[in-house]
Amino acid sequence: MTEDRLPNLILNYDCSQPDNVTLLLPPGTNKTSPFRLFFSNLCITRLPEDICDYPNIASIRAVTGKIETIPSLSCLKNLIALVLVNQEVKSVETGVFVGLERLRYIDLAYNKIHTIEPGVFSEDLHGLMRVHLDYNELTASEAWPIRITHEFCVFGLSHNNISHFSNEENCCSSTWMSLWLRYQPRNYNVTDITCLMPAGNTVQLVRADQRLLNCQIRSPFPKIFSALLGTFAVIFVLLVALVVVFRYELMHLLHTGAKKLKRTSDEDSEYDLFVSVDGESESDRVWSKKLLNGLEQNHNLRLYFPLRDMDPGTVITDKVIKTLQRSRAAVIVLSSSYVDNPSKMFEFTETYNIMVKQRRGRVIVARLDNVTTATNGYLNAFLRLKKYIDADNCDLFEKIVHEVQEEKSQNSRSRSVSQVEIMA
């Protein structure tokens, strides 16, 4: 349940007795229910005295009032947010936040705080992410050892009177402040902010680093292990980069490998070869007709050529898909115009899906022009892996016939294995 949906506790007070404040339950709740406490009152000078009777208070927000002190809130183990803004708080004593491991947010801006005792922000505040102490009266005359060692989002200290800061307890825990102070020139006299070292000398904190503060941590691992870890990290990053850059090539090799292991039967194959060509290109059409004559007349292959075999008025996409499903292989007549034609890129995608991904056959790329790249990732993989046959290759027809015959023989072996498995 979000904070704004929690029931709000009711204040019971009399302005003639501003220190005597108690809480009342809202209707339908009990003291163990989750609550929020939100109020704005100019006569109340302290938080309710029975606040610990409601251990599941998730947030306290008092905006504008005369609250002078912050009592120990260690009893509110589920407290997430504490906001006391525009009040009369002058100091924050040690122990007020002890044990509040779920506390995330503290806002004490616009008060009169001049003292924050050592240990207020102790190491058990594991979840603390934001602290606002802006517009207060913090000065250099008070010691303020900050013990927070984990990373957090915001630590607001602007518009105070800080000119000198000395951390006498743990210089190493202040290394984060070294960087932070370099970007706060308007709020602090950065030349005076120092860290008192165990030997009695001081280090200018704004220019300090781990070496100056004697905070360098020795690695528990020998240098050889560190070197090995670094090497493995570099190799891992390189492998990830290679996978990203060559993902289509890897997927293509994976698809073709899976296709060899398990193939779809071609018993219903009507055509040996489906010819995908850009019919809008005159040179592509002329070359494709030579391909048809050479394969059909000299090698007795059954080819489906859409420009020749598709009936007028046919829905092209449906017909292409159905014909591909009844073909053993497909040849892509690749040219610059083919790559630039969106409908041909769609046709190639369907061809790849049916032939390779669905393991129905194989794709043969016959390259007419010096095409080196394509927008389609899988077609680009063919080009990068050089899985194509140049059109001017004198053995072009024989190589295409070999691909088709090999596809037939692999399907025959696959069918024979399937029959043996059925008989077994």
Which of 27, 32, 89, 33 has its CA nearest to residue 64? 89
- Set out the domains of the chain in order of their start, with CATH numbers: 3-162 (3.80.10.10), 249-423 (3.40.50.10140)
Residue-level pLDDT at 197:
62
Residue-level pLDDT at 23:
95
Residue-level pLDDT at 351:
92
Within the chain, which residues score under 50 in pLDDT?
A: 141-145, 147, 168-169, 417-424
Q: Are residues 151 and 127 in contact, defined by beta-carbon separation less than 8 angstroms? A: no
Interval 279-317: pLDDT, tens: 899 999 999 999 898 898 888 899 999 989 888 888 888
Other CB atoms within 10 Å distance of the CB of residue 271: 20
- Residues across the chain: 424
Which of left, alpha, beta for 86 (phi over 0: left; psi -120 to 50: alpha)? left
Interval 25-45: pLDDT, tens: 999 999 999 999 999 988 999
Residue-level pLDDT at 159:
85
Using the Cα atoms of residue 67, residue 70, residue 74 and residue 79 in order, give the sign of their dihedral: positive
Residue-level pLDDT at 420:
39
In this structure, what token pair is assigned to residue 127? 């979840």
Residue-level pLDDT at 417:
46
